[in-house]
Amino acid sequence: MFMKSTKQPRPRRQRLRGLARGAGRALALPGRLAGRNVDITLALVAALLFSIAWPTLPLTNAVTPSLLPVVALWEVGPLLLARARPLLAWGLALAVGVGFWASRSALPDWPMPWPVVYFLVLLALLVGVCLRAPWPEVLIAIGGTGAVFGVVLDGDLKNWAWGQAVLAIVALLVRWLILSRRQLAREAELGEVERARRAVLEERSMIARELHDVVAHHMSLIVVQAQSAPYRLADVDAATREEFTSIERSARAALTEVRGVLGVLRSDEGERLVAPVPGGGDVASLLASAQAAGMPLTWDALPPTLGDVPAAVGLAAYRIVQESLSNASRHAPGEACHVRIDADEEALHLFVANAIGADSLPAEGGGGSGLLGMRTRAEAVGGDLTAGREADRWQVSARLPLAGGRPAGA
């Protein structure tokens, strides 16, 4: 039997966004690990600079020996915030520098008001802001650093105000390069997704053509032959005429469903249905049609709520009963078949049993894919299905949870 999807249609852009979100979730853990590695690296660099700043601080600035570790920690401490809060780290470092300049004078032989370690830390934090922060924060960092350099530094050292601007421009160029590479990678990924989508559509179009050329063509011939047989053949009685009419109705119904499958395969969205999808409410007409076709079929009273089950569950129930009846008529023709369907608050229970001869049915796993298709449909709505020989009969039993599908009419 042919299977049609019951999922809601999703436009092309939504599918691409879904794939992008799936890729983002797949990369989330490596991203967190990379951020943790950066934090560890910054901590190690800060520890190294702290070990350098402590002993060298008395060589550049007049600092009380008891305050050496504290001042050294102030110099390198903002580095620990460089990844998470780059602007805050830069602001803290700049405030430390201004306070240090106002309270601690440099030694006569040292031309700068700050130790070398602090100077390197401040420039590194400026680069971090240029690489990671939003553009308004980048402008604040460049302007603030240039203003402080222009006020604090003397003589030729004022050129550092321009030097930090050049450094910031280089950092911004690196940022642009990184972002452009990432954008190219995203475009390449979307291109791969689009190529895969086109390949799928081409494959589905090929399958649709094959179905149309083979199945739909022959089903149309069956309809025409069954419709014209009473007029082409002599001495056709009323019972035979009714049999031809039943064959015509069954062939037309099958042709309609094949056209629905063709509509799904040819649709760019992949979910549009040309023909209505059968559900729980159509099981009664399915049983009546099989009985009218001459199958020795009986069934218990159907649950009154069968037509109100979720659409996915109703479709699964219809297809399981349909496939079970098809198997019974094909492998055990003329044998009695019985159908029972029960429903409670949690699930729909299907039971189809038919009498068989000594070797009427193949063992499970042999022959076609009908049993696998029924089991797949049951599992798709969260249920389960068993099929096998029990004494002198073959039976199919399925449980379909009512929570496994969306409400009918959704």
Q: Enumerate domains of the chain plus CATH numbers.
A: 12-190 (no CATH), 282-410 (3.30.565.10)
Q: Are 212 and 273 in contact (CB under 8 A)?
A: no
> What does the pLDDT read at residue 2?
38
| Backbone torsion region of residue 14, taken as left when φ is above 0, otherwise alpha when ψ lies between -120 and 50, otherwise beta | alpha
> What does the pLDDT read at residue 4?
41
Q: How far is residue 270's CA from residue 207's CA, in Å, rounded to a whole number?
A: 13
Burial readout 19-34 (b: 16 or more C-beta within 10 A, e: otherwise) = beeeeeeeeeeeeeee
Q: Which residues contact 41 (CB under 8 A, 6 or more apart)?
A: none
Strand partners, 386: 397
User: Consecutive 10-residue runs of the chain (410 residues): their mean pLDDT?
Assistant: 42 50 44 69 87 85 82 86 87 85 73 82 89 86 85 75 85 89 87 84 76 70 78 80 82 76 64 62 88 85 88 89 85 86 91 76 51 85 89 89 56
Q: How far is residue 118's CA from residue 186's CA, in Å, rounded to a whole number?
A: 39
> What does the pLDDT read at residue 358?
55
Q: Which residues contact 303 (CB under 8 A, 6 or more apart)?
A: 341, 342, 343, 348
Identify the CA nearest to 227 among candidates 251, 248, 212: 248
Q: Are 317 and 299 in contact (CB under 8 A)?
A: no
Kindly give the interhelix angle for 283-292 and 311-331, rounded to the nearest 10 degrees: 20
Kindly give the interhelix angle for 86-103 and 68-76, rounded to the nearest 10 degrees: 140
Phi, psi of 384 (to 5 degrees): -150, 160
> What does the pLDDT read at residue 216?
67
Identify the CA nearest to 398 among candidates 322, 332, 325, 320: 320
pTM given for the model: 0.43
CA 76 to chain centre: 44
Reduced to 3 states (helix: H, G, I; strand: E, B; else coil), residue 339 is strand
Q: How far is residue 100's CA from residue 77's CA, in Å, rounded to a whole number?
A: 14
> What does the pLDDT read at residue 160?
79
Q: How far is residue 46's CA from residue 17's CA, in Å, rounded to a whole number?
A: 40
**Encoded tokens for 263:** 């509509």
Q: Are 395 and 352 in contact (CB under 8 A)?
A: yes
Strand (E) or helix (H) holding 126: helix 116-132
In this structure, the dihedral spanned by the alpha carbons of residues 372, 374, 380 and 385, taken in order and rounded to 10 degrees, is: -90
> What does the pLDDT read at residue 396?
93
Q: How far is residue 18's CA from residue 36's CA, in Å, rounded to a whole number?
A: 27
